[in-house]
């Protein structure tokens, strides 16, 4: 699943195509949404923003298109609808004079009144977005004091969107390595200094990945990882058996919270 940096980079790409343009054609594969397409069609796009791993496309009629690609969803960008492949219909088709954005295979697509987005179930549960410029280390440290998180392992917390929105599996390994923290540690047992290291890494690592200028069109599956590896550079992720970049041992692979995790037992305590 593309993580926060990829989703924010995708929001930038969609913004270039859609913002301040009128949606001349909108099509949904879902028949219920298709009957409501005029809530978007003929309206000017005000903004495309990422929140966590979801995308929000707002128009001047007071409505917002919510999409979440989950594991398999992906966008294609072409100059005209005729340039799209014929074998599969996109779940969402957005057309402006600048071009076409088509969303395939995404399971979560819905329309919301913009002023009611706080009621959208995924968005309502999100914690601070690590890629939101308004979120700083102070905000993350305050959020860490929430009793919901105290007894959970860092391995589990760094996948929890209510703890840190936009985080994901490759970011989890890289954040813990930068913070020099074991994935087995419990949040409430961290010292003040360790919490500060964690908060700083939660901001620094995803934002460096975002600044790496990932490719615009994200394909399905795990191809985005190859692009991240090339443009951002992993210190530990998918480097099992390699020497620790700090020279403190060997990178190990383990499975925690249902996902593979990479870390250095020698320097992450």
Condensed to tens digits (0 to 9), the pLDDT of residues 173-199 reads 999 999 999 999 999 999 999 999 999
Identify the active-site residue in 13, 49, 53, 91: 53
Has residue 220 got a pLDDT over 50? no
Q: What is the per-residue DSSP string for 78-96?
A: ESSGGGS-SSS--SEEEEE
Give me the pLDDT at residue 222, please.
Answer: 45
Contact (CB, 8 A) for 265 and 240 = no
Separation between Cα atoms, residue 96 and residue 106, nearest integer Å: 21
56: number of Cβ within 10 Å: 19
Contact (CB, 8 A) for 251 and 264 = yes
124-175 confidence digits (pLDDT tens): 999 999 999 999 999 999 999 999 999 999 999 999 999 999 999 999 999 9
Has residue 217 got a pLDDT over 50? no
Chain region(s) in the chain for CATH 1.10.8.50: 137-263
Residue 226, classed as helix, strand or coil, is helix
Q: Domain 4-124 belongs to what topology?
A: N-terminal domain of MutM-like DNA repair proteins (3.20.190)
82: number of Cβ within 10 Å: 8
Has residue 215 got a pLDDT over 70? no
- Region 13-34: mean pLDDT is 97
Identify the active-site residue in 3, 128, 195, 197: 3
Percent of the chain whose predicted confidence (pLDDT) is above 90: 88
Chain region(s) in the chain for CATH 3.20.190.10: 4-124
Strand ranges (E), the chain: 25-28, 45-51, 54-59, 63-68, 74-78, 92-96, 99-104, 108-113, 252-256, 259-263
Has residue 60 got a pLDDT over 80? yes
Q: Is residue 151 annotated as a catalytic residue, yes or no? A: no
Percent of the chain whose predicted confidence (pLDDT) is above 70: 93
Identify the active-site residue in 76, 196, 227, 259: 259
Q: Is residue 259 annotated as a catalytic residue, yes or no? A: yes
Give me the pLDDT at residue 197, please.
Answer: 98
Beta partners for residue 77, in sequence order: 101
Cα three-residue angle 102-54-85, rounded to 5 degrees: 15
Q: Is residue 49 annotated as a catalytic residue, yes or no? A: no
For the chain, give the mean pLDDT: 93
Separation between Cα atoms, residue 169 and residue 259, nearest integer Å: 7
Per-residue b or e along 123-150, where b marks 16 or more CB atoms closer than 10 Å to that residue's CB: beebbbbbbbeebebeebeebbeeeebe
Has residue 24 got a pLDDT over 50? yes
Q: Is residue 87 annotated as a catalytic residue, yes or no? A: no
180: number of Cβ within 10 Å: 16
Identify the CATH assignment for 137-263 out of 3.40.228.10, 1.10.8.50, 3.30.1280.10, 3.40.50.170: 1.10.8.50
- Region 224-249: mean pLDDT is 83
Q: Where do the H-state alpha helices sit in 94-241?
A: 121-124, 137-144, 154-157, 169-179, 192-211, 223-231
Give me the pLDDT at residue 232, please.
Answer: 75
Has residue 23 got a pLDDT over 60? yes
């Amino acid at each position: 699943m593309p993580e926060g940096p990829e989703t924010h980079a995708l929001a930038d790409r969609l913004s270039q195509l859609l913002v301040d343009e009128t949606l001349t054609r909108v099509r949904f594969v879902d028949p219920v949404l298709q009957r409501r397409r005029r809530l978007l069609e003929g309206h000017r796009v005000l903004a495309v923003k990422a929140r966590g791993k979801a995308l929000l496309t707002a128009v001047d009629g007071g409505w917002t298109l919510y999409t979440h690609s989950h594991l398999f969803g992906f966008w294609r960008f072409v100059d005209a609808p005729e340039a799209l492949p014929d074998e599969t219909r996109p779940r969402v088709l957005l057309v402006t004079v600048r071009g076409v954005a088509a969303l395939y295979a995404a399971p979560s697509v819905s329309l919301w009144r913009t002023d009611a987005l706080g009621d959208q179930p995924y968005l309502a549960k999100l914690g601070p977005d690590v890629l939101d410029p308004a979120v700083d280390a102070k905000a993350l440290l305050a959020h860490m004091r929430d009793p919901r998180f105290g007894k959970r392992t860092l391995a589990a917390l760094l996948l929890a969107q209510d703890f840190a929105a936009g985080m994901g599996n490759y970011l989890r390994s890289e954040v813990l390595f930068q913070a020099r923290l074991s994935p087995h540690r419990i949040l409430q047992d961290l010292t003040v200094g360790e919490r500060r290291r964690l908060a700083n890494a939660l901001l620094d690592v995803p934002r460096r990945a975002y600044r790496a200028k990932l490719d615009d069109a994200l394909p399905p599956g795990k191809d985005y990882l190859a692009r991240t590896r090339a443009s951002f550079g992993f210190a530990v992720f998918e480097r099992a058996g390699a020497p620790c970049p700090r020279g403190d041992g060997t990178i190990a692979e383990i499975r925690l919270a249902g996902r593979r995790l990479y870390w250095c037992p020698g320097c992450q305590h």
